[in-house]
A and B are shown apart, each in its own frame.
Chain A
Amino acid sequence: MTTTAKLDVQDNNPVAALQELMRRMLERGGVGGVLTPVHLGRGTPMPTLVTDPAELALADPLAPAFPMNGAKMLARLTKGHSGERIAAVMRPCEIRAFIELAKLNQGSLDNVLLISVDCLGAYDNTHYLRFKGADDAIQTTLGFLGKVGGGKDTARDGYDLAGACLVCEHPVAAAADVSVGLVGLDLTAALPVMAETAKGEALLAALELEDWQPREDRAEALARLVERRTQERDAMIERTAEATGTLAGLAEYLAGCVNCLNCRVACPVCYCRECVFATDVFDHKPWQYMGWARQKGMLKMPTDTVFYHLTRMAHMSTACVGCGQCSNACPNDVPVMELFRTVATRTQKGFDYEPGRSMDDPPPLSVFKEKEFEDVVSHMA
């Protein structure tokens, strides 16, 4: 039986309520710091490690902006011994990506509390800044949220959510220690804070929030949201599979790729210290380029772009959490997320693997199974 606590919302401001939650964590939750988005600069919410409760005034885990996936930042904060416990208040796709990194020993769950906030989606970088305009950042968030969480997805003031969010069927993170509910709830009254693990129970107990039995609106609203997004996802996959089903189609799809590797840098689960595509393995000799060109009469420069994406999918598609930062980072608007999710949905289904669900699920490529894909390898059995 999980404990649910009540987080009161004052002045119709759920952002302030979450700030209060984080303040309590720092003051009485035994937490040395909180990693959460804080509006900096022109108002873009960046992952920020806050240790002083006074610095929480611009903290905003609900902002409809997502300039980076914070999983890698949390990995940096937890790889090795810090001696101090921290909390991360993040989106489900950030928590799921962090779980994947932790499986690969790039971060550790030992000294971290994972607080997942129901995700209502976000705009891509440019759309968010246009949507916000010159307004106050927190007021912008409140305007985006409205009264009921997740009432509708798209076309607020003419701006659509990012493509990845529109097709995301994971608005909650199964592996979180504590979840904060938003979907289907009246955001101006109170928010449920739910302990999902023993660690989460202990934290809630320390925060001294009132126990609560909220109405059951959330589960039903979540189911509707997931169903809608799954339909969107399947339609997107169908479109993308159609466009990329042949090598020629795939090459055309990726024609705009300039090998900047931004998508790999932005990808929260791509974890190599040095990408093999940045090494001298792909330093070719001039005569090689001439040779390749001569084979077909022409050669797209830079080379190895299709190879790069295929390799990244081979390495990481089972771990793809669908956060969409790859598309967000692409300077040439190559729809990388759509391609990745299309392939990842199939590879994850193939291995019956859901990335970020649990530390108990080993990454498929890290284990041998005696019987696997027998329809493919049965002739060797």
Chain B
Amino acid sequence: MSNRIGVYICHCGTNIAKKVDCAAVARFAGGLRDVVVARDYQFMCSDPGQDLIINDIRNLGLSRVVVASCSPRLHEKTFQKALARAGLNPYLLQHTCIREHCSWVTEDPGEATAKARMLVAAAVDRVDRHGELFSREVDVLPDVMVVGAGIAGIQAALDIAKSGHRVHLVEKGPSIGGHMAQFDKTFPTLDCAACISTPKMVAVAQEPNIHLMTCAEVVEVSGFVGNYQARVRLNPRYVDTEKCTGCGTCLEKCPTKVSSEFEEGLGTRKAIYRNSPQAVPNTPVIDPLHCKKITKNKCGACEKFCPTGAIDYHQVERFVDLEVGSIVLATGYDTLDPTPLTEYGFGRYPEVYTALQFERLNNATGPTQGRIVMKDGRSPESVAVIHCVGSRDKNYHEYCSRTCCMYALKYDHLLKDKVGHHVRVTNFYIDMRCFGKGYEEFYERVQQEGVTFIRGRPAEVTDRAIRPEEEGKLVVVAEDTLSGLPVRVPVDMVILCTAMEARQGASEVARVFGVAQGQDGFFLEEHPKLGPVSTATDGVFLAGTCQGPKDIPDAVAHASGGAAQALALAARGRVAISPTTSWINPEICVGCRVCVGLCAYSAIEFDERRKVAVVNEAMCKGCGSCAGYCPSGAAQIKHFNEPQVFAELEGLLMDLERPGAVRVPVEDGDQGPLPDEHPARESVTN
């Protein structure tokens, strides 16, 4: 028996109707084969709009439904649920997009209407080939893994742990806290970063539901939403965390000094070290590349002096296997290395600092014990702060790093506060972006403190003096774009507000966890507005700056969002698996195994006994890589199989002036009315 298809054309207010003649499209659809009713309506997604569909299914006995409206990404689920409420399988719907794909991108109303008719014809042809599909549910493991223990990872782990679920918190470095542990004050309230972050770090260490692993990296993830298996490599610390009391004797006795990463190269650390006195865990770590005992089998001072015998030079890497229901990625950001921007002289002039270096200069545990001094020990009399270094710059990062304006204002204030009001501070900015709560007020306050703002990106920082007052200074050369005049500002110190960028190893992390990266290298969220913490991989969520530049409040809020998503899964304990997955027909599969290698989700295994490839439906995302390759069509995506896609193509290619598949009476039971000028259209207005 033929299908009985209902077609519903949405005006979307004026979003679609302004360009597309919706009534004409409905008239056209009414003349297509097997269509028994075609209507247009102002808002199909509204309750009365959905009721139209539900009533038609019940009263007219519809077996298939086409909705032409916005993108299926927005409302496919809405209409699928409407079908389900009327007793039809939700997959008997075809949702076609005549807004994003049509009215919004077409100037001429005639063309837009013609395109809408094509899309509707394609949907009608396609829906004819749809079949019923059924979701199934699987259990969700209760534990959650959080990767990265900066402020975002810490927040996510604490939120999840508070609910009673166990969290495995994996940190690559020897201690937690991330970049925030390097900062001194935080904008706009000027709280001390350590004062607000160390309580959280200590809470992590003391929370019985958090299993903290430092010097640890996730090397392999398999499984699927609710059932992930992760392998974590524990790199040797060479210090037994159980025995170490954190007394610090080893730090004093170690004779080997190395430039400190935590101090951004401004200070030194020992070959056995911890980042700060407040480090969590407090256990030091041995740097095996510089430890004389490990590299040359000499020294051994730390072992000799350790009162508890905690030093173990023979530790080797170990692996831990975890089973978790979901994963929160909080792997953070890197700061741009400004060396390639040679015009700013970083690395050439000693008094040019990166933002993180300046944070360390301010920090009480930093190389100068928090005194802002130059390399010669003098306090700077004049400082230039250059904004947007590597941000909003086509040659580096086109995006805005979102934090620099505010931390630049913080530096302005700290300079005035610590060095004295006489210090001349000049900002070179493009735009001041002070959008957060209390940020504009802070900008106002700093302006009143007598800081100079020059609108213009500097051309260079140079030590070539052309005036007497420039002798012995660094000269920032720029154009003040508000006055249109060139300026030369001689200063003692230059601070570069370096961009936040995706981590160096982000692509490898993306591969391990099966998430995508955006053009800027940050991990790609599921939807820029409505899905900012979820990813295309179900059960893998994002927290903090691994998704894009954020300040601390935003990173913390984002992390709580990621934690909530992970908890939503864990709390319900069951998750529905989409049925639109691949299926490989074992009768047709010839066992070439190309699909096994192509599957980005490791969802296909080879059955050696039957010599055929088999899809694990729980891991399959229905992306179609296998089906796209499989020459015999053994691999097919349910809901996107060959007959369905070919039928859709055929509808698209239809000559609208001479539609091929018009309604004609046929012997296989088509009981619909005969074609007349407006065969099956009922216009509904409200």
Contacts and interface: CB of A to CB of B under 8 A. Distances in A.
B634 to A, nearest CB: 8
Given A287-B664, A294-B658, A295-B654, A366 B594 contact: yes
Given A105-B593, A273-B632, A367-B597, 6 more contacts: A274-B588, A281-B643, A287-B33, A295-B658, A295-B660, A366-B598
The 9 A-B residue pairs whose C-beta atoms are closest, nearest first, are A291-B660, A272-B632, A315-B631, A104-B592, A276-B633, A366-B594, A273-B590, A291-B661, A295-B655
Given A106-B592, A275-B632, A315-B631, A368 B598 contact: yes
| Interface of B (DSSP majority class) | loop
Interface in A260-313: 270-276, 279, 281, 287-288, 290-292, 294-295
Contacts of A315: 631
A288 B658 CA distance: 13
B607 to A, nearest CB: 13
Contacts of A198: none
A273 B588 contact: yes
B632 A365 contact: no
A50 B587 CA distance: 32
B664 A363 contact: no
A316 interface: yes
A287 B666 contact: yes
A315 B590 CA distance: 15
Interface in B507-559: 519
A367 B519 CA distance: 22
A40 B68 CA distance: 65
A375 B593 CA distance: 30
Nearest to A291: B660
A272 B590 contact: yes
B625 to A, nearest CB: 9
A230 B57 CA distance: 65
Given A287-B33, A287-B666, A315-B631, A292 B593 contact: no
Contacts of B450: none
A366 B596 CA distance: 9
A363 B632 contact: no
A233 to B, nearest CB: 26
B588 A366 contact: no
B591 interface: yes
Given A275-B632, A281-B633, A281-B642, A292 B660 contact: yes
B658 A274 contact: no
Interface string B588-621: 1111111001100000000000000000000000
Interface in B653-686: 654-655, 658-662, 664, 666
B439 interface: no
Interface in A185-240: none
Nearest to A380: B519
Contacts of B43: none
A379 to B, nearest CB: 11
B629 interface: yes
A291 B587 CA distance: 33
B143 to A, nearest CB: 32
Nearest to B606: A105
A273 B613 CA distance: 14
A365 B594 contact: yes
**Interface magnitude class on chain B:** 20 to 34
Contacts of A272: 588, 590, 631-632, 634
B631 A316 contact: yes
B453 interface: no
B396 interface: no
Q: Which of B587, B590, B659 has the most CB of A within 10 A?
A: B590
A140 B33 CA distance: 64
A315 B664 CA distance: 38
Nearest to A292: B660
B646 interface: yes
A288 B661 contact: yes
Contacts of B646: 281
A271 B660 contact: no
A271 B664 CA distance: 41
Contacts of A104: 592-594
Q: Which of B589, B594, B598 has the most CB of A within 10 A?
A: B594
Contacts of B591: 105-106
A286 B286 CA distance: 78
Contacts of A292: 660
A118 to B, nearest CB: 31
A74 B587 CA distance: 23
A316 B630 CA distance: 11
A78 to B, nearest CB: 14
A276 B33 contact: no
A20 to B, nearest CB: 38
B589 to A, nearest CB: 7
Q: Which of B658, B659, B660 has the most CB of A within 10 A?
A: B660
9 contacts: A106-B592, A273-B589, A274-B632, A276-B642, A281-B642, A292-B660, A294-B658, A365-B629, A366-B594
Contacts of A363: 594
A133 B555 CA distance: 86
Nearest to A370: B507
Contacts of B587: 273-274
Nearest to A273: B590
A349 B537 CA distance: 36
Contacts of A276: 631-633, 642
Contacts of B643: 281
Contacts of B660: 288, 290-292, 294-295
B629 A105 contact: no
B590 A271 contact: yes
A54 B508 CA distance: 61
A71 to B, nearest CB: 15
A292 B647 CA distance: 13
Contacts of A295: 654-655, 658, 660
Contacts of A270: 631
Nearest to A289: B660
Nearest to A274: B588
Nearest to B633: A276
Q: Which of B587, B633, B659 has the most CB of A within 10 A?
A: B633
A171 B598 CA distance: 34
A295 B588 CA distance: 34
Q: Which of A270, A272, A368 has the most CB of B within 10 A?
A: A272
Contacts of A381: 519
B93 to A, nearest CB: 23
Interface string A349-381: 000000000000001011110000000000001
A124 B658 CA distance: 46
Contacts of A365: 594, 629
Interface in B638-657: 642-643, 646, 654-655
B592 A271 contact: yes
A381 B519 CA distance: 7
Contacts of B594: 104, 363, 365-366
A140 to B, nearest CB: 38
Contacts of B598: 366, 368
A290 B665 CA distance: 13
Contacts of B634: 272-273
A310 to B, nearest CB: 13
Contacts of A105: 591-593
B302 to A, nearest CB: 44
Contacts of A294: 658, 660
Contacts of B664: 287
A141 B632 CA distance: 39
Nearest to B612: A273
A295 B589 CA distance: 36
Contacts of A271: 590, 592, 631
Contacts of B629: 365-366
